[in-house]
Amino acid sequence: MGKFTYFLVFTLFLSSFVASSLGKKQGDVLSKFYKAKQKNSAFRKSYFKAADVENVELDKVILPQEGSKAKDWINKLPGQPPVKFQQYGGYVTVNQSAGRALYYYFTEAENSESLPLLLWLNGGPGCSSMAYGAMEELGPFRVNSDGKTLHRNSYAWNRAANVLFLESPAGVGFSYTNTSSDLNTTGDSRTANDNVVFLLNWLERFPEYKNRDFYISGESYAGHYVPQLAHEILKHNKQANKTLINLKGIIIGNAVINDDTDIIGMYEYFASHALISDETYHDIQNSCFVQNYNESKCNSAIAISDNNINHLDIYNIYFPLCKNGNLTKYPKIPPPLQIDPCSTDYIYAYLNRQDVQDALHANVTNIKYEWESCSNSLFYNWKDSPVTIVPLLRESLANGVRVWIFSGDTDGRVPVTSSKRSIQAMNLTVDQPWRSWLNGGEVGGYVETYKGGLAFATVRGAGHEVPSYQPARALSLISHFLSGTLPPGDH
């Protein structure tokens, strides 16, 4: 398949999102972002360029951290049930002259010493890892419908690792910059650079994790952030001629990998899941590519597709929409294994409370705007976003870094068909062929591995935010990833 024309991509996402609530904005932002990306020729779309600064002087970027860890210790979050693990939250300065500081929330495992360190990043660009990762997906707590109390997520990933949530880049969630023009000059490179500086300083603050096995995970647009951060870490280790950060593996879910295959894979998914007709799909295939572009035909096919996916949650096509996100006086009994479709509304209320921000050590500089799950201002001026991150996945593999790609198979935004096509574009040879993997005696999903070390795993019945919808399957998958074993199943 050739390249989509610019025109297509920017009509493509205009009307495809149903604003049912504050929820699901991560995918919403992604669609608007694709559009902005195609419209704005200032974007650097070519091969990822490492950083603002080519040769980082470690002694200049690593600042003293004495006493910070103790100050960051979180006694208890408002409305929190009792737990046996430790939590920390606070800021790490990543650029002193600009006054940029990134907020982190760290949930240790109960037996923290024997388990690896796992970083989680949400995408957008511009979406908060507190909003999604920590409070809705894999964190230890979920917010009740009263917007002020929490309940336990029994499938939290801090059962398998010490989990570090990072709000990135500056301008997202609680992370901030004192140089407001930074918000107009951010992109993939700045994000990767600030993130590696964050990690180097964070490890100074938590030195017991310095030699720990380290893994990076994320979803959606973090399909860019994760391999880019891996690239920065490999570069820094090489420059320093020692292991500054003990990177062992990366894992990305429903991830933006390769624009062309991601986009046509999305329409393939719509058609194969009976959301659009085969005819509409063929019209898109036959009129929206550079080699056969027909503006009027392409436009009308896209308009039909957009119409067809109105009034459903494209991030989880069989999931109900949020009908009433109003807070309730008393918490509703949470569904045992699934997220409430209105949970983003509860999280928004919770994280904007003063007592919650105080407990988290967040917003200590009185940021001028309120906490939001996704920051719109950032991505409209995004500076660089390569069309593919395949070269960086290859680089990680070549350096012995484990690479897994997973996909919730009911997501329509960056669906399983997109991920399959993106992996095909890597020209790998199958090692262990497609088979089911089991969890709790039933199929958790399917898995295939490739020569060179890449694994692809689907998660059955999960949408874009995999751990929200299939928490037990997601925990099983991440545990196997961390131990470097494939989940069991029928060969």
Ligand X SMILES: *[C@@H]1O[C@H](CO)[C@@H](O)[C@H](O)[C@H]1NC(C)=O
Retrieve residue 261's tokens.
């295959």
- Min dist CB 9 to ligand X, Å, is 19
Contact footprint for ligand X (CB under 6 A): 52-53, 93, 95, 97-99, 101, 174, 178-182, 184, 241, 294, 296-297, 324, 326, 357, 363, 365-367, 369-371, 380-381, 390, 426-427
User: For residues 161 and 263, which CB has a smaller minimum distance to ligand X in the complex?
Assistant: 263
Least distance (Å) between residue 198 CB and ligand X = 12
Instruction: Choose the catalytic residue: 236, 464, 476, 480.
Output: 464
Q: Which residue from 409, 367, 344 is spatially nearest to 180, judged by alpha carbons?
A: 367
Q: How far is the CB of 174 from ligand X (least distance, A)?
A: 6
Burial class of residue 299 in the structure, from the number of CB atoms within 10 Å of its CB (0-12 exposed, 13-18 middle, 19+ buried): middle
Shortest distance, position 99 Cβ to ligand X, whole Å: 4
Compute the distance between CA of residue 19 and CA of residue 92 in angstroms, rounded to an integer: 34
Q: What CA–CA distances, in Å, run from 317 to 92, 309, 311, 323, 479?
A: 38, 9, 10, 16, 27
Query: In the complex, what is the shortest distance from the CB of residue 130 to ligand X, in angstroms, rounded to a whole number?
Result: 10
Distance linking the first and last C-alpha atoms of the chain: 33
CB-nearer residue toward ligand X: 171 or 444: 171
Nearer CB in complex with ligand X: 364/472: 364
Task: Please indicate whether residue 361 is annotated as part of the active site.
Answer: no
Cα(179)–Cα(249) distance, rounded to whole angstroms? 34
* Residue labelled with tokens 């949400």: 122
Q: State the catalytic residue, choosing from 411, 418, 419, 480.
A: 411
List CB contacts of 259: < 8 A, sequence separation 6 or more. Answer: 4, 34, 387, 388
Of 46 and 178, the one with the shorter C-beta distance to ligand X is 178
What's the closest the beta carbon of residue 53 comes to ligand X, in angstroms?
Answer: 5
Contact predicate 128/84, CB 8 Å: no
Nearest CB to ligand X, comparing residues 286 and 310: 286
Give the nearest distance from C-beta 487 to ligand X in angstroms: 28
Q: Which of 220, 287, 422, 476 is catalytic?
A: 220
Contact partners, residue 381, CB within 8 Å, separation at least 6: 183, 184, 185, 186
DSSP of 234-245, one letter per residue?
HHHHHHHTS-SS
Comparing CA positions, the residue from 196, 259, 191 lying closest to residue 225 is 191
Residue 205 to residue 186: CA distance in whole angstroms: 26
Residue (28 or 182) nearer to ligand X, CB? 182
Q: Is residue 220 annotated as part of the catalytic site, yes or no?
A: yes
Is the Cβ of residue 22 or residue 466 nearer to ligand X in the bound state?
Answer: 22
Q: Which residues contact 226 (CB under 8 A, 6 or more apart)?
A: 121, 216, 217, 218, 250, 251, 252, 255
**Which residue, chain included where needed, has tokens 């099983």?**
476
Which residues are catalytically annotated?
Answer: 220, 411, 464
